[in-house]
Structure 1
Amino acid sequence: MIPQIIVVDDDPIILKGAWNTLTGAGLKVVALKSGKALLEHTKDNPEPDLILMDISMPEMDGFEVIKELKKSDSGWKDVPVIFLTANEDEDAETKGLSLGAMDFIRKPFVASVLVLRVKHAVELVRLQRDLESMVYEKTRENENLFIHVVESLADAIDAKDNYTNGHSGRVAIYSKEIAKKYGYDEKRQEKIFMMGLLHDVGKIGVPDEVINKPGRLVDEEFARIKKHPSIGGKILGNIQEMPELAAGAKWHHERYDGKGYPQGLSGDDIPEEARIIAVADAYDAMTSNRSYRGALPQEVVRSEIEKGKGSQFDPKFADIMLKMIDEDKEYHMRDNPCDS
């Protein structure tokens, strides 16, 4: 189905430019000149996939419009909104996000960037909705089928990275083993296994050329990589049947000392499952070939885990991983994690 985008802006030049750009990219576009026109449009028309809306408009600004949309009892309250703005006002951005906006795009926009941002946004929203529907239906039918669906999705995420095939599966297995050794019951072990499988789901929103870039990332590229936990948390956050799934995706890059991202949580404020996944993720990252280096020797991996105790990692989970490494005399765990 061709995505439908609504563009709302009182500037006819911006409106025409956005319409030409997006229709030229094969998208269906409705152009509206005001927030009031948008609210009127909602009464007799189906919801679009995405709304691009200016903030500064006469009569009703973008903030007022999004408030009205969120009050609606129709499906329009769930339509994602990206604000268009010519200002670099952090307060305005904070306010927009707090009101439920998905993102901001600066004006004047670059045509190619606008198309990419819109397509990524639509892809993320559809993935979130598909996941929510799929999980609800499949969990009711058969929990085993749900696990297979999650594994397939994890494989799809891993496929974005040419160098980390199987990464999500290995992290899931290491996380489950750490949880088992820590004393989780079988049900909690299965939950953390699924959290590990989906911990990198947010990478669906990161361009392939950034993920697969050989060599060091520039600051702007690294900033895009750092968005994947928040994206993953947003994608998984509406799966009501397993709300904990979002925790692994959103917080696996937090550090025990509070210097991680996206929120700078520290210590026990980081969900326990995310602290476990963080250790498992780091181990697999070091023991796998990456675009910028080969797998590290086992003694280097052990040293890095040891060095990260209390700073990057929760010490108790780092100690469990260190014991697993010490028991892996031949350095086989990275190739056969199921045997760990």
Structure 2
Amino acid sequence: MNLPQAGALTVPQDRILVVDDEPLVRNLLSEYLCNEGYDCDLAATGRDALIKLANGSFSLVIADIRMPELNGLQLLEGIAQRFPDVATIIVTAIADIDTAIYTMKQGAYDYIIKPFNLEQVAESVKRALQLRRTRLESKRISQNLEALVRKKAFALSTALHDLKDQHKTTLEVLIKALDARGHETQCHSQRVQAYTLRLAQQFEFDTLQLMDLARGALLHDIGKIGVPDGILLKPGKLNSDEWSHIRKHPTIGNEILQGVKFLDRVAWMVLCHHEKWDGTGYPQGLKGDQIPLEARIFAVLDAYDAITSTRPYREAMSSDVARTAIIANAGTQFDEKVVDEFLKVPQRDWDEISAKFPG
């Protein structure tokens, strides 16, 4: 083998393990690569090589295939499994294409046939180490990006959680403000919300729509904050002037909720929850499908709860009376399709909700 004059230094921090059961080959490769500026160590068998790899840090392994105890192919497999960041080059007398392909599949950078040219080996070592550095840098960047993504995802999750808490607090404040006015029926809003979510199961609402539906049901009467106590809590029937004040509560509720960004869609539902299917409702006189489906659902359940709850001017009536009244007003006050779905729900479901929110 021709031993040319050593060239310039390359990367002194790269450490190479030369593995060959022939001392002459090991020493020749080691001497030449050391002259090229690499730090080299030697192993006579694949087993010795794995021990050295476990106890030290290497950038590259140059290995023969035919060796005692643990051959080069087995060593290559062990390196791929246990030391994936270590580059490998096979230097062997086995000129077999299938073996060469197998070593490449196991991660070997090159397959050099003996007798070899040392300059060829040095060039292969240089390219293998450059590729290794590129892969390590890509891995480092990828890990940094993954860490950054995890950090950003955690920050986003925390922000969303905080936002949900803020939304929940906003809703609680609004409901407490209504309750503080002495709202006419305890737990009315909670019952209507629970009724609404049960009836919503009969329809095809997505998750975001259900969230808005639940908020709208809970806040449908929020506008009554703007109605005078003398009217809101009057034990007798209301006169026409007093009714005009009551009829303002959907508009007042809409104005309150429009000031809360995440309740924009809910504000529209609240504005429309006293509209009637035949167009005789208030405040806008909307008709049929002009009324949001959510508001049409509220209307049926608001009426059901009003009939079955005690009011300042009368005692609660039975669910049978409520169902009869709703059926009688299907197609005029209520959307017939919503009424049909309401009637499909077992009465025990409504009764369970009523028992959960008494008052």
TM-score interval (norm. to shorter): 0.5 to 0.7
2:323 to 276, 283, 302: 302
SS of residue in 1 equivalent to 2:331: coil
Following superposition, the deviation at residue 148 of structure 1 comes to 4.1
Is the 8 Å Cα contact of residues 185 and 311 (structure 2) preserved in structure 1?
yes
8 Å CA contact retained: 2:296, 2:334? yes
From the superposition, tell whether residues 237 and 142 of structure 1 become closer, same or farther in structure 2 (CA, over 3 Å). Answer: closer
1:210 positional shift: 0.6
Q: C-alpha offsets along residues 283-318 of structure 1, whole Å, 9 cap, x if unaligned?
A: 111111100111111110110111111111111211
Separation (CA, whole Å) in 1 of partners of 2:173 and 2:160: 15
CA contact (8 A) 1:172 1:193 kept: yes
2:270 corresponds, among 213, 225, 249, to 249
> What is the match of residue 227 of structure 1?
248
Q: Indicate how the Cα distance of structure 1 residues 176 and 148 shifts in structure 2: closer, same or farther if over 3 A, else same.
A: farther
Q: How far apart are 1:145 and its partner, in Å?
A: 4.1
Amino acid at match of 1:196: A
Paired residues of 2:194 and 2:353 also in contact (CA < 8 A): no
Equivalent residues of 2:184, 2:232 under 8 A apart: no
Identity of aligned residues (%): 41
Deviation at 1:238, TM superposition (A): 3.4
Cα distance in 1, alignment partners of residues 235 and 167 from structure 2: 35
What is the rounded CA distance, in whole Å, between the counterparts of 2:164 and 2:306 in structure 1? 29
1:161, 1:238 → 2: CA distance? 24
Structure 1 residue aligned with 2:281: 260
Structure 1: where are the runs of 5+ without partners? 1-137
Normalising by structure 2, what TM-score?
A: 0.52
Instruction: Tell me, yes or no, if structure 1 residue 181 matches structure 2 residue 181.
Output: no
Task: Tell me what 2:237 maps to.
Answer: 216
| Alignment of 1:160 onto 2:191 | no
Change (3 A) 1:302 1:291: same
SS at match of 1:333: helix
Structure 1 residues 231-290: Cα deviation after superposition (integer angstroms, max 9, x where no partner): 111111233333111112211000001010001101000111111111121111111110
What is residue 221 of structure 2 aligned with on the other side? 200
Q: Over aligned residues, Cα RMSD in angstroms?
A: 2.3
Given the alignment, which residue of 284, 287, 293 partners 1:272? 293
Residue in 2 that maps onto 1:126? none
1:178–1:329 CA distance, 2 compared to 1 (3 A): closer
User: What amino acid does structure 1 have at the position aligned with 2:356?
Assistant: N
- Aligned partner of residue 313 in structure 2, secondary structure: coil
CA contact (8 A) 1:210 1:221 kept: yes
User: Could you tell me how far apart the structure 1 residues matched to 2:353 and 2:170 are?
Assistant: 25
Please say if residues 248 and 274 of structure 1, whose CA atoms lie closer than 8 Å, have aligned partners that are also in contact: yes
Aligned match of 1:191: 212
C-alpha distance in structure 1 between counterparts of 2:175 and 2:241, whole Å: 26
Distance in structure 2 (CA, Å) of the matches to 1:139 and 1:273:
26
2:260 is matched with 239
Post-superposition Cα deviations, 1:302-339, rounded to whole Å, max 9, x if no partner, equal 10111111111111211222223x4328944322269x
Q: Write the deviation string for residues 136-167 of structure 1: whole angstroms up to 9, x where unpaired.
A: xx978231441243134223313424531111
Secondary structure at the counterpart of residue 223 of structure 1: helix
Aligned to 1:293: 314
Larger Rg: 2
Shift of residue 171 of structure 1? 1.2
Q: In the alignment, residue 328 of structure 1 is paired with which amino acid?
A: R
Residue of structure 2 equivalent to 1:328? 348
SS at match of 1:313: coil
Structure 1 residue ranges (4+ consecutive) displaced by more than 6 angstroms after TM superposition: none
Alignment partner of 1:215: what SS? Answer: coil
Contact 2:269–2:295, Cα closer than 8 Å, also in 1: yes
After TM superposition, the structure 1 = structure 2 runs for residues 304-319 of structure 1, keeping only pairs within 5 Å, are 304-319=325-340
**TM-score, normalised via structure 1 length:** 0.55
Quick check: 2:190–2:357 contact (8 Å CA) kept in 1? no
- Letter of the 1:334 partner, please give it: S
- From the superposition, tell whether residues 297 and 191 of structure 1 become closer, same or farther in structure 2 (CA, over 3 Å): same
The answer on whether the counterparts of 1:159 and 1:165 sit within 8 Å (CA) in structure 2 is no
- Determine if the alignment matches structure 1 residue 146 to structure 2 residue 167: yes
Q: Deviations over 1:40-95 (max 9, x none)?
A: xxxxxxxxxxxxxxxxxxxxxxxxxxxxxxxxxxxxxxxxxxxxxxxxxxxxxxxx
Aligned-partner Cα distance in 1 for 2:227–2:323: 30
Moved more, 186-195 or 212-221: 186-195
Whether the 8 Å CA contact 2:187–2:357 is kept in 1: the answer is: no
Aligned length: 200
Q: Residue type of the partner of 1:238?
A: G
CA distance in 1, matches of 2:261, 2:287: 26
Would the aligned equivalents of 2:191 and 2:357 in 1 still touch at CA under 8 Å? yes
Q: Distance in 1 between matches of 2:337 and 2:179?
A: 29
Distance 2:171 2:262 in 1: 14
